[in-house]
Amino acid sequence: MVWTPRWFHRLVTIVRPNRLQRDLEDELLFHIEARTRDNIAAGMPPEEARLAALRLFGNRTLMAERMRDADINRSADALFRNLRYAARVLFRSPGFSMVVVLSMALGIGANTAVFSLLNAVVLKTLPVTNPEELVILEAHVKSAGGERTALDWHRDLRNFQTHAAQYVELFTSSRTSAVTTLNNQVEQIPVGLVSGNFYSVLGIRPFRGRLIDRGDDSERNPQLVAVLDYGFWRGRLGGDPAVTNRTIVLNGVSFSIVGVTPEGFFGTSLAPPTPVIIPVQTEARLEDGESFRAIEGRLRPGVSRQQAASVLTSIFQSSEPHRNDVIVLKNNSRGEYSDRERFEKPLYVLMGGVTLVLLIATANVAGLLLARGAARRREISIRLALGASRAAIARQFLTESLVIAFAGGALGIALAYGAAGALVAMVGPAAVGLDVRPDARVLAFTCATTVMTGLLFGLFPVMQARGTTLNPSLKEGVGIVGRRPRQIARRALVIAQIALSLVLLSGAVLFTRSLSNLRSFDSGFDRHGVLLASFDADYRYSKDRRYQIQNDVLQRVRSIPGVEFAGVASTPVLSAGEYSTGLKVSGQAPCRTSMTIASPGYLETMRMRLVAGRLFEETDNQVGAPHTVIVNQEIVRRCFGSMNPVGMNVQAGFGVNAEIIGVVTDAKYRNLREDTLPMYYIPPRSVHPFGLVLHVRTAFDPRAAVEPIRRALREVDPAVPLADVRTLEDQSEQSVLQDRLLTSMSKTFSIVALALAVIGLYGVLAFTVAQRTNEIGLRLALGAQRRQIGQLVLSESAFMMLVGSALGFAGALAGQRLIQGLLFGVGPSDLWSLLTAVGVMASIALCATLIPAAEAVRIDPISALRHD
């Protein structure tokens, strides 16, 4: 025989209540039959025997109930029944259900998408053990807030490693690029450089073979070994299992491949992983200069950041006399991400905006549920009359709301998956290293959001049902001017929607204005009509030849028809980097300035205006001629005060003694928001750099110059590729990425919010008109003007608009203060933006009002009075 377990009974009880019922009946019937048989055996007449047996049971239904109660977990059963009922109710009106589920999916999906991005940029920690112990080292002038200064990578790192080993384990990683041949094709690939303890300190185990260790990275005898990134090994080398027997040639040097990194590990910065990683001490073998190396570390257990920092600071300061810079340890648990700072605040603002959208969607769904609740008053009354408890009805309504919320949440996650990808695409190159796939934190966020919104909009129908009384509801619809439900809750919800939409809309207007200010204000150079490109011969060329190629290319480009000016410069503007060197006038303290290496033609290309003296000429860039520099007005203000600097001799960067030959206007260099930097320009031949960026001003669309330039380069040397082709406008657009993100997202949010608010407004008005059909008919029959009927609807709409706008106005003013730091050229409490928002809102609301108003006006008194 089979003894079924308890849980099975419980399950059967819940899932198949009918079967349970039959079992109970059977069990009791068996008992009665057995008793009857015994009674007959004892000599009773059959009929009496049966009745006697039945009598013993008393109230059989009651007993069956009691048995059932004992059998089942009541709440689970009730939940299941509620779920089934909720599903049936939702399926009965598929149109309604689709609208509410889609509203929630939109709200929750948008929230999940923005949160995924926020998570990837701000919250997520590196996939290593105890990421909170990771730090990154910075030296600052005097105090933590002071300007950053450079660390001597070789000497200081070794010094720290010997003297502070019990506080922090220091390691380093950086990236460079090298030429290699892959599948018979020459290409330049990014190469990672790590110190020998990098993998062991981070606790990373190899996927295959081994990783780089201390032995490989010895200073005296570095090993030519390489580790491959998992994705590169899978994607480009087909996951070759024998890869550890192979070698890879980088800049002509052969490295033996010793292993593959584990999947999902990408180093300590959120940049795209480097395909190949080699010991940092082997970088010299690539013969391509030294990359910038960050000093990173992992704190020993129990050591605080401040503690380790003060130890490092004292080591640093005592290593050399007169050194008073301070070492600061920054938390690096999330990994290095150069764009984190500029995206962090905008992302929080977007999160706030998208939360408002969700609130509006929630209010909309609540309004729809209330409207349907009004239609369900009879159903509730009947259920109350049949003895359902109010708590049971409340539970039922709440279950329905949660079913809607969860359906919306599930769909929302699917939407978010696509939307997060679209967001990353919108952010472009700055987001390439980001992993926005939903992780546990994102899912927890979505679940919490889903439950909270479900409870929030579920509350409204519950409150409404609580107010339902037995009697009047059953009689409802009989009288003409009888007491109507006043829809206070629905109106409040519409008002809230209008107010919140207004907040979003004014934000969108502000961001749009701010972005257009950024795009159009005078940045000191002309952003239009300039093409940027890089071309650099690689390690296979001699330095003289590389320099020669640069000059020849410039010559040829200048002769292309339509090219007005051309020049090369060390860093293009708005690319967030420039040399930082001093400018020293003999007998004075050095003046802290920035430097751009710029050939003749660069300043003309940028249309920076000459204020005094002259611009560079070809002779300034010729070997043997006296060194010259040009300064901007900010340098004159900071370093020369009232003196005219033209003709003065100064010591520029790299120890070059030069004459100031001119002064140009100030411009924005790193980004459009910065305070003006003191900047001077020096011709390339004075400092001999490589890899300068080509700047070309054209009389036509700069993109049309790409092919002629490519041809010119081919004529000079067919083996040198043209890379990184973009216009200065592209560069400028990249630099205002966060503003574009805020603008386009806030616009999208506002459109969704407006649409939802208008649907809500329309719903309430249309419902009111439908409800008052009899009353309006009666009024018309008694001689009311149609105009007055129209005014009735308009005034209701106007009331909600006014209250909503007033509240929204206050909210928008408060919101403006929060986003002030992200705006450009837009003052606090900008009334113009607010009024624009109100105007847009009001005109759309008017459209939503006209339809129900027209309907009310068209009501025919005769048929209206006959109507129910």
Partner 1 sequence: MARNGVLQGTLDLLVLKTLHSLGPVHGYGIVTHIHSVSDNVLRVEEGSLYPALHRLEQAGLVASSWQLSDTSRRARFYQLTARGRRELKSEEENWEAVTAAVTRVLQYS
Interacting residue ranges for partner 1, rule: CB under 8 A: 1-6, 9-10, 23, 26-28, 30-31, 33-35, 37-38, 56-59, 63, 66-67, 69-71
Q: Are strands 225-228 and 168-182 parallel, antiparallel or unpaired?
A: unpaired
Q: How far is 550 from 534, CA to CA, in rounded Å? A: 10
DSSP 8-state secondary structure symbol assigned to residue 565: E
Q: How far is the CB of 78 from partner 1 (least distance, A)?
A: 17
Q: Which two tokens stand for residue 498?
A: 């209008």
* DSSP classification of residue 43: T
Which residue's CB is nearer to partner 1, number 36 or number 172? 36
Nearer to partner 1 by C-beta: 50 or 383?
50
Considering only CA atoms, give the Rg of the chain. 38
Distance CA 14, CA 18 (A): 9
Q: Tokens in use for 29? A: 């019937």
Question: Is the CB of 35 or the CB of 378 nearer to partner 1?
Answer: 35
Closest distance between partner 1 and the C-beta of residue 333, in Å?
A: 49
Q: Which is nearer to partner 1, 74 or 545 (CB)?
A: 74
Cα–Cα distance measured from residue 693 to residue 144, given in angstroms and rounded to the nearest whole number: 34
Structure tokens at 502: 């207004």
The tokens describing 361, both together, are 């969607």
Instruction: Identify which of residues 48 and 287 has a Cβ nearer to partner 1 in the complex.
Output: 48
Shorter beta-carbon distance to partner 1: residue 4 or 221: 4
Closer of 40 and 766 to partner 1 (Cβ): 40
Cα dihedral 836, 838, 843, 847 sign: positive
* Cβ-based nearer residue to partner 1, 34 or 249: 34
Residue 29 · residue 92 · CB < 8 Å: no
State the minimum distance, in angstroms, from the CB of residue 37 to partner 1.
Answer: 7
Task: Indicate the burial class of 37 (C-beta count within 10 angstroms; 0-12, 13-18, 19 or more).
Answer: middle
Question: Where are the strands (E) in 687-740, listed by range?
Answer: 693-698, 722-727
Please say which residue, 68 or 378, places its beta carbon nearer to partner 1: 68
Q: How far is the CB of 20 from partner 1 (least distance, A)?
A: 10
Give min distance, CB of 56 to partner 1, in A.
Answer: 5
CB of 84 to partner 1, least distance (A): 23
Nearer to partner 1, 66 or 528 (CB): 66
Tell me which H or E stretch contains 708.
helix 706-716
The DSSP line for 378-440 is HHHHHHHHTT--HHHHHHHHHHHHHHHHHHHHHHHHHHHHHHHHHHHHHHGGGGTT---S--H
* Cα distance between residue 837 and residue 621, in whole Å: 55
Which stretch of DSSP H or E encloses residue 6?
helix 6-15
Least distance from C-beta 23 to partner 1, angstroms? 7
How is residue 319 annotated by DSSP? T
Q: What is the nearest approach in angstroms of partner 1 to the Cβ of residue 17?
A: 15
How near is the Cβ of 57 to partner 1 at its closest, in Å?
A: 5
- Provide, rounded to whole angstroms, the least separation between the CB of residue 456 and partner 1: 37
Of 25 and 152, CB closest to partner 1? 25
Burial 556-594 (b: 16+ CB within 10 A, else e): bbeebeebebbbbbbbbbbeeebbebebbbeeeeebebb
Q: Report how far residue 335's alpha carbon sits from residue 134's, in angstroms, rounded to the nearest whole number.
A: 9
Taking the complex as a whole, the smallest distance from the CB of residue 389 to partner 1 amounts, in Å, to 23
Shortest Å distance, C-beta 70 to partner 1: 4
Which residues, in sequence order, are CB contacts of 141 under 8 Å at separation 6+? 147, 148, 149, 325, 326
Closer residue to partner 1 (CB): 50 or 376: 50
What are the beta bridge partners of residue 380? none
